Amino acid sequence: MTGLAVDDAAWASAWRRRAPADKLLLCGGLVVTALVLPAWPGCALVGAVAVGLALGPARVPARTFGRAVRWPLAFVAVGAVTAVVEVGTGGLGWAPDAAARAGSLVGHALAGGAAVLLLATTTPLADLLPALQRARVPAAVVEVASVVYRLLFVLLDSLRTIREAQAARMGYSSVRRSYRSSGTLAAAVLVRSWDRARRMQEGLAGRGLESGLRVLPETLPSSAAFLAAAGAVIGCIVATSLVIA
């Protein structure tokens, strides 16, 4: 358990042993398809396929998937309603095609979001970071990103422990106390992050750290059948969408 539900789901997913590049191609294809096809039926098909694959073959818990969708849903709802309200000389009013435009916006956002979530809940970030290096992102940048990934769970754990201790001491019993506790909480986490980094650096220096943090990447074989199926699914979505549209 890492404390982040999406990351936990990714490590436990039935697709965990599939090559990250295969999953990137499938999910990237679905994201692009959701972006360029019309909301009906293209985005509806992309959304249904992404959710179906996540809850079916990839065996992602429905609760995790549903809870993760809640985050962007508030933004999508408020943003879509605001986009279709018109400001005129007579005040506020609905745009003539408000329902269709709002539906299109929500459709694109939900379908794209589901495709990204399919990638996030089946592929741990630790598997995706080596792919960045293969995409010619400088090694130093990938190393910093790897340290961010490894440290954030330690810091989230510290955050929870300190907050629990503060709450037990009535640290969040009023707005004023909540702010004071949040400030000391942030400071304590920052000082701990520096301390962790310094101790890690000293430990690695003792083991001969001179250039990069080299680790052996896990090689997961690509599957031609998976790639063919991914291509066929995306092809079917595009063809169905074009025929119906």
Considering only residues 201 to 240 of the shown chain, the ones binding other proteins according to CB under 8 A are: 201, 204-205, 209-213
User: Is 45 an interacting residue with respect to other proteins (CB under 8 A)?
Assistant: no
Task: Check residue 56 and report its DSSP letter.
Answer: T
Rg (CA), the chain: 23
Question: Given the structure tokens 């943003």, which residue do they identify?
Answer: 79
Region near other proteins per CB under 8 A, out of 54-62, 115-123, 224-232, 234-242: 115-123
The CB-based long-range contact list for 221-225 (8 Å cut-off, 24+ gap) reads 221/19, 222/19, 222/21, 222/22, 223/18, 223/19, 223/22
Q: How many positions of this chain bind other proteins (CB under 8 A)?
A: 84
Distance CA 171, CA 181 (A): 6
Q: Which CB atom, from 132 or from 227, has the smaller least distance to other proteins?
A: 132
Q: Which CB atom, from 165 or from 205, has the smaller least distance to other proteins?
A: 205
User: Is 18 an interacting residue with respect to other proteins (CB under 8 A)?
Assistant: no
The CB-based long-range contact list for 133-141 (8 Å cut-off, 24+ gap) reads 139/212, 140/212
Query: Which of positions 76-95 make contact with other proteins (CB under 8 A)?
Result: 76, 78-79, 82-83, 85-89, 95
User: Is 53 an interacting residue with respect to other proteins (CB under 8 A)?
Assistant: no
Query: In whole angstroms, how close is the CB of 2 to other proteins at the nearest point?
Result: 9
Map residues 147-186 to x or -, x wherever contact with other proteins holds by CB under 8 A.
Answer: xxxxxx-xxx--x---------------x--xxx-xxxxx
Question: Which of 21, 52, 196, 240 is the binder for other proteins (CB under 8 A)?
Answer: 196
Residue 13, by phi and psi: left (phi above 0), alpha (psi -120 to 50) or beta?
A: beta
Task: Give the helix ranges, DSSP H, for 84-174.
Answer: 98-120, 125-134, 139-168
Both tokens of 94, joined, read: 């609905």
User: Is 1 an interacting residue with respect to other proteins (CB under 8 A)?
Assistant: no
Question: Which of 99, 194, 217, 235 is the binder for other proteins (CB under 8 A)?
Answer: 194
